[in-house]
């Protein structure tokens, strides 16, 4: 019983769809009763009569007219869009310029640090090449060395000459980690 009802319902729906299709096919046909009562199709270069419920003889004529209108209007609109500045684009340009400036500053800082690194390397290599003269240090006396001080090339602090090499190596290591 249920399957019969479903079949009847499907058949009824099918018939309704078929009637609708037939109606639309018949309505698209142009009746040629009186040529003066028919309107002409508004499609470009078309001389056919329009369908009864339309301005065009076919969908193609309507599409052609729409395409022609778009091709007429679109170049003017594109020109207007190009003339008016886009806020997001302007913001993006400013942000890009700032990033490039920051990159340039970072490169310059890196070059300066590289130069300082090489200077420190040269100082350390010269200091390692110098031989320690124990005879002169012992003969001068410990009291005299306390008055004499040198400045660290890394941090600029005054330091005792006896611990200068060790201090400079430590400063260099700290700067290398930073």
Instruction: Select the highest-mean-pLDDT range: 1-10, 73-82, 107-116.
Output: 107-116
Q: How many angstroms separate the Cα of 61 from the Cα of each of 36, 48, 57, 71?
A: 21, 10, 7, 15
Q: Average the pLDDT over 85-103 and give the result.
A: 92
Rg of the chain over Cα atoms, rounded to whole angstroms, equals 47
Question: How many C-beta neighbours within 10 Å does residue 61 have?
Answer: 21
CA angle 163, 154, 135 (to 5 degrees): 25
Given a contact cutoff of 8 angstroms between Cβ atoms, the answer to whether 52 and 27 are in contact is yes
Who has greater pLDDT, 158 or 2? 158
Q: Average the pLDDT over 62-90 and give the result.
A: 84
Q: Average the pLDDT over 115-132 and give the result.
A: 90
Q: Average the pLDDT over 91-119 and give the result.
A: 96
Q: How many angstroms separate the Cα of 80 from the Cα of each of 75, 86, 162?
A: 9, 12, 78
Please give the pLDDT value at position 137. 47
Residue 117 has pLDDT above 90, yes or no: yes
């Amino acid at each position: 019983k249920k399957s019969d009802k479903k079949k009847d319902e499907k058949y009824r729906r099918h018939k309704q769809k078929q009637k609708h299709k037939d109606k639309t096919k018949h309505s698209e046909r142009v009746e040629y009763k009186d040529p003066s009562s028919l309107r002409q199709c508004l499609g470009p270069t078309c001389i056919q009569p329009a369908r009864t419920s339309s301005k065009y003889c076919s969908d193609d004529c309507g599409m052609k007219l729409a395409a022609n209108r778009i091709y007429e209007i679109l170049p003017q609109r594109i020109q207007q869009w190009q003339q008016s500045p886009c806020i997001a684009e302007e913001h993006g340009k400013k942000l890009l310029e700032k990033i490039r400036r920051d990159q340039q500053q970072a490169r310059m800082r890196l070059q300066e640090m590289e130069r300082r690194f090489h200077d420190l390397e040269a100082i350390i290599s010269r200091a390692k090449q110098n031989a320690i003269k124990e005879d002169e240090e012992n003969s001068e006396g410990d009291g005299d060395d306390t008055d004499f001080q040198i400045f660290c090339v890394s941090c600029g602090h005054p330091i005792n000459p006896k611990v200068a090499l060790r201090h400079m190596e430590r400063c260099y290591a700290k700067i290398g980690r930073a």
